[in-house]
Amino acid sequence: MIKRNISLLVSSTVLLLGLGVFASQTAAAQTTPLYAQCQGCHQPTGAGIPGVFPPLAGHIPEVLAVKGGREYLIQVMLYGLQGQITIKGAKYQGVMPGYAQLKDEDIAALLNHISTQWGNKLPAGQKAFTADEVKAQRAKTMTAAQVLEARNKLGLK
């Protein structure tokens, strides 16, 4: 009886440890330092902070659906965004820093993450972002104010 209880205890412990490792690896994949930087402003839920930082949830597919939207999102990541924007009638006045110091692959990965989280989906016919797309936008030199101009030309509301 004691041997059976010890065997059950050991089996249970191994199972729990295995589940714990799996859970921590899964959580780590979603909270890498790259994604953690985004969460500070846009929140883990992608809801943003009213009046300051816009939502990513529900908004990114709208941006991607507009001609030039993919390029604009890459530009935001590379060069930042400064100035008031309006999303679904709500105004936001936060400052998005540029992350040009990140590798092209990392920026593509971040954009793919925000394009497929919180119920977001890439529009039909669009593929995942690539490092080559980022590299093409990196060849441009823009200011955060010019990125705002680019947004305004897209007609996003």
* Residues 51-105: tens digit of each pLDDT: 999 999 999 999 999 999 999 999 999 999 999 999 999 999 999 999 999 999 9
- C-beta of residue 47 within 8 angstroms of C-beta of residue 57: yes
* Residues 8-64: tens digit of each pLDDT: 333 333 333 333 333 333 333 355 677 788 899 999 999 999 999 999 999 999 999
State the average pLDDT over residues 103-117: 96
* Helix ranges restricted to H, the chain: 2-30, 33-42, 60-65, 69-79, 104-116, 131-138, 144-154
pLDDT at residue 129 tops 50: yes
Find the helix or strand (DSSP H, E) in which 90 lies.
strand 90-92
pLDDT at residue 6 tops 60: no
Phi-psi region of 125 (alpha: psi -120 to 50; beta: other; left: phi over 0): left
The more confidently predicted of residues 4 and 13 is 4
Which pLDDT does position 27 carry in this prediction? 39
State the average pLDDT over residues 94-121: 96
Reported pTM: 0.79
- C-beta of residue 104 within 8 angstroms of C-beta of residue 134: yes
